[in-house]
């Protein structure tokens, strides 16, 4: 079969022929219906090098996947051939405390995980191919009726990641509060929808691109702001001087992190979701008092079930641009150039 593979660090992925996967005991082969192209893949191609992660190339890209069960290995039960499924891409050891809760992205058994801190398309072969080998049936989530794999695939990260981050701040997002989403790309436009679907907060969207802010408006943002030197002041004007109760930074560059800290309310939350390399200088007088600053990574399998349910009920919808597998390198080129609105999705 054809697959898009990262053969080495600091390189572009290449299309190549690889053997079709065959399932062993407990394993499942999924026929890929769609695989999302994530900005974090660009970080893998451009920024990481040998020794920085506990895994590395070569591997097939694609950690956002949905499709149909194709073949079952010996001893597999709970799914049927032909059943539509999403793939939960964080593959931990399955036995540590975090994994038993379904939060395999935070697996603490580095020696027992197949790709510690990684998973499908992150150290192990992912879904930018015709088929993907899933090492355990627990990583499959049945798709609700009517949810197309093309729309489900990006939800496994682009919606799951902000959903997990927003869920942590639910207690602070009651009526009369404000949430800010910085960066209205693949994750950000879904973050706006998640906030509208699950909280009572007013939602402010911030981006440097007018087309992204138009997407935020369609997603339900109450206010859209073009990023600039006065953006934090505008956030405070829209919140009667208090600032935002929760800021979700889907970029996390030096500038956006500074904006998030300047926009936050005392006792609020600032969550860094993106991988832009920004840092928050936490000291007295620099950030609002008791502003909690945290990073998050992906989400849990139970949360993915909740995300898919929201989508099936029409509360979440990924804006997608589809590409054939042969055109996957072009999808990443356009993503890197900032030419994708929403999410690029590869359809083999």
Residues 86 and 182 in one domain: no
Residues forming a β-bridge with 182: 206, 249
Taking 90 as the threshold, does the pLDDT of residue 112 lie above it? no
Taking 90 as the threshold, does the pLDDT of residue 301 lie above it? yes
Once rounded to an integer, what is the mean pLDDT over residues 202-216? 97
Give 286's pLDDT tier (boundaries 50, 70, 90).
Answer: confident
Residues 96 and 176 in one domain: no
Q: Using one digit for the tens of pLDDT, what is the confidence trace for 148-157? A: 999 999 999 9
Residues 169 and 313 in one domain: no
CATH number of 176's domain: 3.40.50.720
CATH number of 10's domain: 3.90.180.10
Residues 204 and 102 in one domain: no
Residues 248 and 321 in one domain: no
Range of the domain at 241: 160-295
Both tokens of residue 16? 């190549």
The total number of structural domains in the chain stands at: 2
Residues 28 and 117 in one domain: yes
Taking 90 as the threshold, does the pLDDT of residue 126 lie above it? yes
Residues forming a β-bridge with 122: 119
Taking 90 as the threshold, does the pLDDT of residue 283 lie above it? no
Contact indicator for 178, 245 with CB cutoff of 8 Å: yes
Residues 147 and 9 in one domain: yes
Comparing 276 with 5, which gets the higher pLDDT?
Answer: 5
Once rounded to an integer, what is the mean pLDDT over residues 44-72? 95
Taking 90 as the threshold, does the pLDDT of residue 114 lie above it? no
Residues 139 and 245 in one domain: no
Residues 151 and 169 in one domain: no
Taking 90 as the threshold, does the pLDDT of residue 35 lie above it? yes
Q: How far apart are CA 231 and CA 312, in angstroms?
A: 35
Taking 90 as the threshold, does the pLDDT of residue 100 lie above it? yes
Once rounded to an integer, what is the mean pLDDT over residues 79-100? 96
Residue-averaged pLDDT of the chain: 96
Residues 6 and 153 in one domain: yes
SS (H, E, C) 114-182: CCCCCEECEEECCCCECEEEECCHHHEEECCCCCCHHHHHHHHCCCHHHHHHHHHCHHHCCCCCEEEEE
Residues 265 and 178 in one domain: yes
């Amino acid at each position: 079969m054809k697959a898009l593979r990262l053969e080495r660090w600091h390189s572009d992925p290449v299309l190549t022929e690889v053997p079709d996967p065959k399932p062993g005991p407990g394993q499942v082969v999924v026929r890929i219906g769609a695989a999302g192209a994530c900005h974090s893949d660009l970080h893998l191609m451009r920024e990481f090098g040998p020794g920085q992660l506990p895994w590395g190339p070569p591997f097939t890209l694609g950690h956002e996947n949905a499709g149909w069960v194709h073949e079952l290995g010996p001893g597999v039960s709970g799914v049927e051939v032909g059943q539509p499924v999403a793939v939960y891409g964080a593959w931990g050891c399955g036995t540590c405390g975090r994994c038993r809760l379904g939060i395999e992205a935070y697996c603490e058994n580095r020696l027992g995980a197949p790709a510690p801190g990684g998973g499908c398309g992150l150290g192990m072969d992912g879904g930018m191919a015709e088929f993907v080998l899933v090492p355990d049936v627990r990583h499959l989530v049945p798709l609700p009726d009517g949810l197309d794999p093309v729309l489900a695939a990006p939800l496994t990260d682009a919606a799951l990641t902000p959903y997990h981050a927003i869920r942590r701040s639910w207690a602070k997002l009651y009526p009369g509060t404000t949430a800010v989403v910085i960066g209205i790309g693949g994750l950000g436009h879904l973050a706006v929808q998640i906030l509208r679907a699950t909280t009572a907060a007013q939602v402010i969207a911030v981006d440097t691109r007018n087309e992204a802010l138009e997407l935020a408006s369609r997603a339900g943002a109450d206010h859209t702001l073009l990023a600039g030197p006065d953006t934090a002041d505008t956030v405070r004007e829209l919140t009667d001087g208090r600032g935002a109760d929760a800021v979700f930074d889907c970029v996390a560059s030096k500038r956006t992190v500074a904006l998030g800290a300047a926009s936050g309310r005392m006792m609020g939350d600032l969550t860094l979701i993106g991988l832009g390399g920004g840092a928050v200088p936490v000291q007295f007088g620099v950030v609002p008092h008791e502003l909690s600053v945290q990073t998050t990574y992906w989400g849990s399998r139970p949360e993915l079930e909740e995300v898919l349910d929201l989508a099936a009920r029409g509360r979440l919808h990924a804006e997608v641009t589809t590409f054939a597998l042969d055109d996957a390198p072009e999808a990443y080129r356009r993503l890197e150039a900032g030419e994708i609105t929403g999410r690029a999705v590869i359809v083999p």
